[in-house]
Amino acid sequence: MKLPESILRPVKLIRGGMHLDHQKNTAECESVIMPSPATVYIPLSQHIGAPANPIVKKGDAVFVGTLVGEAGGFVSAPVHSSVSGTVVDVKDLTIGNGTLQKYIIIESDGKMTPDPDLKPFKVENYSDLAEAAKQCGLVGLGGAGFPTHVKLSPSKDTKIDTLVINAAECEPYITSDYRECMENFNDVIEGVYLIKEKLSLERVVICVESNKPKAIEKLMEIASDHRDADDSVKLMKLPSKYPQGAEKVIIYSATGRKLPSGKLPSDVGCIVMNVTSVATLYRFIKTGMPLVAKRITVDGTAVTEPKNLIVPIGTPIKEVLSFMNIDLENADRILMGGPMMGNPVVSDESVVEKRNNAILVMRDQKPQTQTACIRCGRCADTCPMSLYPAMVETALRTNNKESLNSLNVNYCMECGCCSYVCPAKRPLTQVMRTAKAEIRRQK
Ligand code: SF4
Ligand code: SF4
């Protein structure tokens, strides 16, 4: 058994970032399985890349885990039914973030019968592993939604030596990954060793923030496992500082390598996987059941009894809120995700997707009055990517293309730190998004 003092310290630490109030109110809340909703709306685009193509039609019978949409290209992911029942429609809707996209609408029979054709997936080599991730419909579950099989299929010339397991979960409130470690630890440990073996990786670094002592104790068992004969699986304790779990940040902390803008982790020899993604991949290989449900932390200042729920993908948010008995009269806004990087929910008809890990219902959000920039420099001091958001805002306002192109805006990971610290309440994260779009437009 390795001793706690053998836990690694970060190789490098980013500048900037913030210490936030953790608000991990649901850390000890065992997950509750939400009953099947009457109807699910399965979006065909729950990931980065091309939408899936529907392969079912109105009237088709489906089970839990039945393939209903095939990947629409290499950078894409298939989608599966999250309930048993009947397809009632396949059509375009604007119920998500307001943009039109295709959904498969399935009426549940309430039985949640698994597809009888599902069976364990045999993995003999690294290409089988990527195929398993594809057939599972697995995408980055930390919020990014990047198809996992693409991460696991580096080109022949790319040398991958390190698997970074992201168990940082640095946004306030969210405990869905933490509960995965606590409730499904066997799937996590088996998943780690399977990926390490099939990809012939030299090193695995499991990264967790220092504010999760029980998770550290649990994850230490992976690094102390008898299969780690060459001591190549390490646990790294990161400072609990937001945005420690962001991909660029965690790679830098775990390896000291800088991920250039527009590059993938494989370009610096790494694969980064969220801890729930690792466990989900192992469960698929063991049972054949693809990704059809998500653990969601439901919390926020308008929630009196926060919980972790296991929710069928495609469940309308209004059904989740009704199951939780949340009174929306007192809510000022609903966020899909954490308070820093979550997206405002524009309609309670929106549905739970693969990449969602929290629904926050907030009240007493006083309207923020913007004032002029006082040139205090706090936005630049806190930016983990060493950017100058105030200068980006000026360059955009004055339409100074040369200045805009010199400010490395594509390194922005939209973490929200600059907006959070700005005393003038400038909407700097939105400014950075606009600046990135403007640079794309110019190109
Ligand atoms: S949102 Fe972008 S500019 Fe603002 S602190 Fe984060 S990385 Fe820096
Ligand atoms: S933090 Fe706000 S007020 Fe201070 S320099 Fe940046 S934009 Fe200006």
pLDDT recorded at residue 265: 93
How is 264-284 classified by DSSP, letter by letter?
A: -GGGGTEEEEEHHHHHHHHHH
The domain over range 4-27+120-287 is classified in CATH as 3.40.50.11540: yes
Distances (CA, A) of 19 to 242, 247, 304: 6, 18, 25
Which ligand has its closest atom nearest to the C-alpha of 394?
2
Residue 14 Cβ < 6 Å to ligand 1:
no
Gap between the Cα atoms of 270 and 289, Å rounded: 27
- Residue 70 pairs in a beta bridge with 53
- Minimum-distance ligand 1 atom for the alpha carbon of 379: 5
Which tens digits make up the pLDDT trace of 127-163?
Answer: 999 999 999 999 988 777 899 999 898 888 889 999 9
Q: What is the pLDDT along the chain (443 residues), one digit of tens a residue?
A: 555 556 888 888 888 899 999 999 999 999 999 999 999 999 999 888 999 999 999 999 999 999 999 999 999 999 999 999 999 999 988 877 667 889 999 999 999 999 999 999 999 998 999 999 999 999 988 777 899 999 898 888 889 999 999 999 999 999 999 999 999 999 999 999 999 999 999 999 999 998 889 999 999 999 888 998 888 999 999 999 999 999 999 999 999 999 998 888 999 999 999 999 999 999 999 999 999 999 999 999 999 999 999 999 999 999 999 999 998 888 888 999 999 999 888 887 899 999 999 999 998 767 778 999 999 999 999 999 999 999 999 999 999 999 999 999 999 999 999 999 999 999 999 999 999 999 988 87
User: ∠117-180-291 over CA atoms, to 5°?
Assistant: 30
Residue 340 Cβ < 6 Å to ligand 1:
no
Residue 425 Cβ < 6 Å to ligand 2:
no
The model carries a pTM of 0.93
Domain coordinates in residue numbering, the chain: 4-27+120-287, 378-442
Which ligand has its closest atom nearest to the C-alpha of 390?
2
3-state helix, strand, coil in the chain (%, to 5): 30, 20, 50
Which ligand has its closest atom nearest to the C-alpha of 418?
1
The β-bridge relationship of strands 343-344 and 67-70 is unpaired
Protein residue closest via CA to atom 2 of ligand 1: 412
